[in-house]
Chain A
Amino acid sequence: MNRTILVCCGTGCLANGSKGVADEFQRLIDQRGTDARVKCYVKRTGCNGFCENGPIVKVMPDDIIYYKVREKDVAEILDKTVEKGETVDRLLYRDDQGRPVKHQHENPFYAPQHKTALRNIGAIDPTRVEDYIAAGGYEALKKALAMTPAEIIEQVKRSGLRGRGGAGFPTWRKWQTAAEQEATPKYVACNGDEGDPGAFMDRSVLEGDPHTVLEGLAICALAIGAEEGFLYIRDEYGLAVRNVTTAIADAERHGILGDDVLGSGRRLKLSVVRGGGAFVCGEETALIASIEGSCGEPRPRPPFPAVKGLFGQPTVLNNVETLANIPVILKDGGDAFAAVGTEGSKGTKVFALVGKVKRTGLVEIPMGATLRHLIYDIGGGIQNDRPFKAVQTGGPSGGCIPAHMLDLPVDFDTLKSHGAMMGSGGMIVMDDRSCMVEVARYYINFLAEESCGKCTPCREGLRKMLEILTDICEGRGQEGDIQLLEQLGHTLQDSCLCALGKTAPNPVLTTIQYFRDEYEAHIREHRCPAGVCVKLTAFRIDADRCRGCTACARACPTGAITGAVKQPHVIDSSKCISCGSCREACRFDAVETEGRDAV
């Protein structure tokens, strides 16, 4: 029997050393050469979504999956698993009960997932178009070439697909509008800017399955009658840029793209534009300005890009994940796609589940699953079994959702009605050691820096909100500050030019709504209940609980902690910088925080 070894070479696993592992497999296989009983191939795949446990290695067709594989483990995997089909137990994942898990589909992180947009990732080599084709790739494009634009749009309409970039706009409607325009040329574009800090869904798709995005974009081009398209990708995503560039060149060489799309006589030229690292460039009109070669500043809509977009021509812009769903819809039909999900939100959604949760990574589940299912069943609950406090969804435009709302279904409409939004899919889980005021300050600081400055409410309003929040976090908060923040927030919602400013107050307004007591503790008692705000927090070691293990003293960056082994330790407050490293290091919960009168 022949075996294939899949080595995850996404950004996360590469950071953990997967290149060395893949090279070592290749080296040993070459060395064993024809003597080996089993023929064996190494394949470098995209991100499996469970990066924290990387490098990840899968052996097929046995479907055995190993985690945290090091170069020194390679020979053993070859001897046991490849040669004899046996497992190497110590490299298996352990589930919540400590049982070893042999197959991916038994792993509690993967078992509940339903992969559509991510269907090929981790199974194919993204740099080989042959792999994509063998997995059924470009079948949908073939099918679309035999259809009229109206028939293509009809399937997308039946699917109920809504844009995954955040706003959830029905995809077919954009396509329809652009298709109806008489002006030519028309353009298609893919939004791969992924600016939300804490989200990496689109990176994973671009890196791990670039052809699916190209195929989606090509089908869109057929539907609206475009012959040129762009993929705008963050420059920080080096591997994504490389893999997409390779994919375009390969597709052209195979006659899939270029002057004669699959022999149909149609033309489609795609190219990559690297983003300049500005969050606002993810907004569609700003992105268009950036592709045109000027500053990425938004402009008022209408006219919408579908009418007047790139170079003043009709343009459809879709998010990476939106496009990754298109080939599936065309291949299996819109109705099959619509069978998954909720009434108003069809299909699946990819989430980046990160923060203080046990299992972090990329998760694709049907729309309408609850937050509890995501965080507890898939994520395994909170790290160190601490209490859950909130989950931040939707990035800087989203909100913070408290514990009593964990049973809300996640889809486009439910979260919006609670002041948050599903957004592009970032899910940042916070425990009782996350300060909600500081989180709000963090987002406003981010947005104040990223505001392009074109409209006054956004530029000045955010600056003022940041000032107030910083004061609160540093102990200078005053009665009335909360009301002022609310007022400013509503003004921004009503008067900003683009969605960056209009949604910017969400993190502040939701934290005030659900965690008002934390704001009040900062303002009235000069105390940060979570023990995060440096100027309001002093650390202390509880002598009764301290076992003298010295972990805190070793973790302290300023040498403020002293004490003999097995004796209670003490913190010298004159040296302490309140960074909290000791609290993180302590395994006995002996480090406590108390308020510090700051002013």
Chain B
Amino acid sequence: MQIDMDEVLEILHRYPREKRHSLAIMQDLQHHFNYIPREGMEALAEYLECPLSSLYSMATFYRALSLKPKGKHIIKLCDGTACHIRGSVNLAGGIGRLLGIGAGETSADGLFSLELVNCLGSCALAPVMVVDDTYYGKVTLEKLPEILNKYREEAAG
């Protein structure tokens, strides 16, 4: 994927050149590109005049940041306690069977990435799954194919 450096720079310039904004900038890069491209990391190190290694250690420390490209749709499957005891593990298995991916992986067609996340703050609707920004509550293995197919059909046009 070709990274548009203008987009990267626009994001950097939203913040003053202080190290304390590094996390916020990386989060914005992550939101924009679905991951933090190498070009982004290098530009940020230059912008904040800090070693690339210190940014790298942050990017690998914080769960919300990723250095690898993600799929078009991000499935966040909640494995917080409330969801766990209402069967989230089975859902992970179900997604695995439907898409052939495990947690942290991206499907071969680049359409989906699966992330197992901690509590999404909607425990009353457990088990909860979020695809991009859409919440699905009380998800069952039975409902999974229908939910995922919607995104597949969309992609197929």
CB contacts (< 8 Å) of B120 on chain A: these are 11, 236
Considering the complex, which residues of chain B in the window 31-55 have a beta carbon less than 8 Å from any beta carbon of chain A? 54
Alpha-carbon distance between A486 and B141 when the two chains are bound, in angstroms? 37
Report chain A residues within 8 Å CB of B20: 291-293
Cβ 8 A contact of A278, one of B62, B87, B119, B140: B62
Name the one of A203, A294, A428 contacting B85, with C-beta atoms under 8 angstroms. A428
Which of A115-123, A148-156, A349-357, A488-496 participates in binding chain B?
A349-357
Query: Residues of B contacting A195 with CB < 8 Å?
Result: 118
Asked if B123 contacts A352 (CB within 8 A), the reply is yes
Given contacts A293-B22, A581-B141, contact A355 B121 (CB under 8 A): no
Q: Is A198 a contact of B137 with CB atoms below 8 Å?
A: no
Please judge, given known A-B contacts A52-B125, A274-B27, A276-B27, whether A197 and B21 are in contact too, CB under 8 Å.
no
Count residues of A near B (Cβ-Cβ below 8 Å). 60
Q: Are A557 and B119 in contact (CB under 8 A)?
A: no
CB pair B119–A296 under 8 Å, yes or no, is: no
Any A CB within 8 A of the CB of B122: yes
Complex: A292 Cα to B54 Cα, angstroms: 13
Render A431-442 as a binary contact track against B, CB cut-off 8 A, 1 for contact: 000100001001
How many Å from the CB of A547 to the closest CB on chain B? 20
**Residue on A nearest B19 in the bound complex, by CB:** A293
Docked-complex contact A293 and B119, CB < 8 angstroms? no
Q: Is the CB of A557 within 8 A of B141?
A: yes
**Is the C-beta of B3 less than 8 angstroms from some C-beta in chain A?**
no
Given known pairs A197-B119, A293-B19, A293-B22, the reply for A579 and B141 (CB within 8 Å) is yes
Decide if B125 touches A51 in the complex (CB within 8 Å): yes
Contacts of A293 in B (CB 8 A): 18-23
B81 at the interface (CB under 8 A from A): yes
Contact B81 A197 (CB under 8 A): yes
Verify if A235 is at the interface (C-beta below 8 Å from B).
yes
Check if A200 sits within 8 Å of B122, measured CB to CB. Answer: yes
Which of the 9-residue segments B90-98, B105-113, B147-155 touches chain A? Answer: B90-98
Choose one: A199, A273, A428, A577; the contact of B24 (CB below 8 Å): A273
Please tell me if the beta carbons of A279 and B90 are within 8 angstroms of each other in the complex: no
Contact A276 B23 (CB under 8 A): yes
Q: Contacts A276-B65, A277-B64, A356-B85 hold; do A12 and B122 have CB atoms under 8 A apart?
A: yes
Interface range for B:
35 or more
Q: Is the CB of B121 within 8 A of A237?
A: yes
Bound state CA distance, A29 and B94, in angstroms? 44
| Interface residues in B118-144 (C-beta closer than 8 Å to A) | 118-126, 128, 133, 135-137, 140-142
Tell whether A198 pairs with B142 under 8 Å between CB atoms, given A293-B18, A355-B86, A426-B81. Answer: no
Cβ–Cβ contact A277 & B124, under 8 A: no
**CB neighbours of A227 from chain B (8 A):** none
Output the nearest chain A residue to B50 by Cβ-Cβ distance: A293
Whether A557 lies near B97 (C-beta < 8 A) is: yes
Whether A579 and B124, one on each chain, are in contact in the complex, defined by CB atoms closer than 8 angstroms, is no
**Shortest CB distance A54–B (Å):** 8
- Find out whether the CB atom of A294 lies under 8 angstroms from the CB atom of B58: yes
Can you list, as one digit per residue, whether each of A284-301 has a CB less than 8 Å from chain B (1) or not (0)?
A: 000000111111100000
Name the residue on B nearest A292 (C-beta). Answer: B20
A212-239 to B contact mask, C-beta < 8 Å, 1/0: 0000000000000000000000011110
Complex Cα spacing A16 to B128, Å: 12
Most buried by B among A15, A194, A392: A15
Tell me whether B118 and A14 are in contact (CB under 8 A). Answer: no
Contact of A295 among B61, B94, B97, B123 (CB under 8 A): B61
State in angstroms the CA–CA spacing of A521 and B57 once bound together.
43
Q: Taking the complex as formed, is A242 at the interface, i.e. its CB lies under 8 A from any CB of chain B? A: no
B117 within 8 Å of A by Cβ? yes
Does B82 touch A at the CB level, under 8 Å?
yes
Of A197, A352, A354, which contacts B118 at CB under 8 A?
Answer: A197
Q: Is A196 an interface residue (CB 8 A)?
A: yes
- Contact residues in A for B125 (Cβ distance below 8 Å): 12, 15-16, 51-52
* B13 CB–A CB distance under 8 Å: no
Is A448 in the interface zone, CB < 8 Å from B? no
A584 at the interface (CB under 8 A from B): yes
Determine the chain B residues whose CB is within 8 A of the CB of A355 once the complex forms: 81-82, 85-86, 126
A360 contacts B117, C-beta separation under 8 Å: no
A375 within 8 A of B: no
- The residues of A that contact B27 with a CB separation of less than 8 Å are 235, 274, 276
Given A16-B137, A279-B118, A352-B123: A197 and B58 interface contact (C-beta under 8 Å): no
B5-33: contact bitstring with A at CB < 8 Å (1 yes, 0 no)? Answer: 00000000000001111111001000000
Nearest residue (CB) in B for A15 is B135
CB distance from A568 to the nearest CB of B (A): 22
> Are A197 and B80 within 8 A (Cβ)?
yes
A446 within 8 A of B: yes
Which residues of chain A are near B23, meaning CB under 8 Å?
Answer: 273-274, 276, 290, 293
**Complex: how many Å from CA A555 to CA B143?**
10
Interface hub of B61, B64, B120, B124 (most chain A Cβ within 10 A): B124
* Nearest chain A CB to B120 CB, angstrom units: 6
Q: A18-55: contact bitstring with B at CB < 8 Å (1 yes, 0 no)?
A: 00000000000000000000000000000000111000
Contact mask A391-429 → B, CB, 8 Å, 1/0?
010010000000000000000000000000000001010
Residues of B within 8 A of A254 (CB): none
Assess whether B135 is in contact with A276, with CB atoms less than 8 Å apart.
Answer: no
Closest to B142 in A: A555
Provide the bound-state CA to CA distance between A310 and B128, in Å: 36
Distance between Cα atoms of A426 and B85 in the complex (Å) = 14
* A518 CB to nearest B CB, Å: 15
Q: A276-B23, A276-B65 are in contact. Are A199 and B123 (CB under 8 A)?
A: yes
Give Cα distance in the complex from A292 to B19, angstroms: 7
| Chain B residues, Cβ within 8 Å of A381 | none
Q: Let me know if B72 is at the binding interface, CB within 8 A.
A: no
B121 with A236: CB separation less than 8 A:
yes
> 20 A-B residue contacts at CB 8 Å?
A12-B125, A12-B137, A15-B135, A52-B124, A198-B119, A274-B24, A276-B64, A292-B20, A293-B19, A293-B22, A352-B123, A356-B85, A360-B126, A395-B81, A442-B81, A555-B142, A557-B94, A557-B142, A577-B93, A580-B87
Beyond the given A11-B135, A581-B90, could you list 13 further A-B residue pairs with CB under 8 A, ordered by the A residue number? A11-B121, A12-B124, A51-B124, A194-B121, A195-B118, A198-B119, A200-B121, A293-B21, A295-B57, A295-B61, A355-B86, A426-B81, A452-B61
